[in-house]
Structure 1
């Protein structure tokens, strides 16, 4: 199980996960939509290194960060925790809540049916 990420840490991880290559601190700061300050991002990156989410490699004067935890693995773990805590470990309850809270398009419904059909097999 992964250590929980704060919202700010998750914002930084999303930038790193979406990159096609390792990013230096300045690139991460520029890609963050909230316009976080360099020092704050450096603190967050230090936490992510300590939690084992990213590696840090110093090249010249710059630190480059690379994800160690795949986004899909983190998403799966967070989804499992979410379903356990809020829906008493019932995916059916989660799906019912999603369907009741917002209308689904015909395409959404078809994709969900296809996923369920594959899972059933």
Structure 2
């Protein structure tokens, strides 16, 4: 499924909708923080979100029940991929370097992350393979290359 970009206002509304999961227009109006938008404004945004594929509707009598079609995790992944591709040459290394330089992430946070991630990397869990490149030191990378060469020679 192709995910489309959201405007800032659409994204703010979607944050509320992701919390609700399945809802009616009245639920949105009750849960929306102050200042509450006009009901017609919310209806317009709901129509746009349906067109963009974020929501679906189910008619129940004279009213519509709305359902989330794009989970927040999928949207988060979409945004991070867009950010990475557009501003960091698709490199996770560049993102982490930028975050450290801008003090978004501390060395302590990175060390905690690294220590929690190491067991998963050692188990060769596929979703953590990217972490080898980012977290391994040059010596560890060289050892890894040497092991691969050794295995290759043993097979020959």
Q: Tell whether the structures are fold-level matches, with TM greater than 0.5.
A: yes
Contact 2:10 2:49 (C-alpha < 8 Å) held by counterparts: yes
Equivalence map 1:42-81=2 (5 Å): 42-81=43-82
Question: What is the match of residue 32 of structure 2?
Answer: 32
Contact 1:23 1:66 (C-alpha < 8 Å) held by counterparts: yes
- Report the Cα offset of residue 24 of structure 1: 0.8
Greater Rg by CA: 2
- Report the Cα offset of residue 18 of structure 1: 1.3
Contact 1:16 1:65 (C-alpha < 8 Å) held by counterparts: no
Work out the number of aligned pairs and report it: 119
The CA RMSD over aligned residues, in Å, is 2.2
User: Separation in 1 of the partners of 2:57 and 2:112?
Assistant: 39
Question: What is the match of residue 12 of structure 1?
Answer: 13
User: Separation in 2 of the partners of 1:105 and 1:24?
Assistant: 45
Q: Which runs of 4+ in 1 moved over 3 A?
A: none
Point out where structure 1 has 5 or more consecutive residues left out of the alignment.
none
Q: Which has the higher contact order (CA 8 A, sep 6+)?
A: 1
Choose between structure 1 and 2: higher helix proportion. Answer: 2
Contact 1:11 1:32 (C-alpha < 8 Å) held by counterparts: no
Change (3 A) 1:75 1:115: farther
Change (3 A) 1:67 1:115: farther
| TM norm structure 1 | 0.83
CA deviation digits over 1:18-55, x for unaligned, max 9?
12x41111211332335222111111100111111111
3-state DSSP of counterpart to 2:78: helix
Point out where structure 2 has 5 or more consecutive residues left out of the alignment.
121-127, 133-156
User: Separation in 1 of the partners of 2:89 and 2:107?
Assistant: 27
3-state DSSP of counterpart to 2:37: coil
CA deviation digits over 1:63-102, x for unaligned, max 9?
2211011111111111101111011211111111112222
